Amino acid sequence: MTDDAAAHTDLTPDSFCLSICLSVCLSVYLSIYLSVCLSIYLSVCLSVCLSIYLSIYLSVCLSVYLSVRLSIRLSIYLSIYLSVYLSVCLSIYLSVSLSVCLSIYLYIYLSVRLSVYLSINQ
């Protein structure tokens, strides 16, 4: 008998069952081990990567968004506020100051004119 023939004839029912049992046990062990290890690895890796990505992305995006939004709102608010405030304050100030100055001027002018007129006509 050749070595190949001897190898085929060496398969007894016990060795056949042992090889089947080993292959089944090995495949079950590997599938469970790999599924557990891969699920743990992927869940940890995904959670870490996702948290790092989200923290960087959100911090950068939020800071840019908030700074741009704040600067736009602040500029709009300041321009509206200053224009309204300045126009109202200036108009009030100018109208009051002109009114006071004009009344003082007219009072002095008219009192001088009246006194001159009265002094001449007496």
How does pLDDT run across 64-110, given as a tens digit for each residue? Answer: 888 888 899 889 888 888 888 888 888 898 899 999 999 999 899 88
Return d(Cα 64, Cα 70) in angstroms, integer: 10
How does pLDDT run across 8-42, given as a tens digit for each residue? Answer: 555 577 788 888 888 888 888 888 888 888 888 88
Return d(Cα 102, Cα 17) in angstroms, integer: 121
Residues 6+ apart with CB under 8 A from 54: none
**All structural domains of the chain with their residue ranges:** 3-121
Distances 80 to 27, 36, 87, 94 between C-alpha atoms, Å: 74, 63, 11, 21
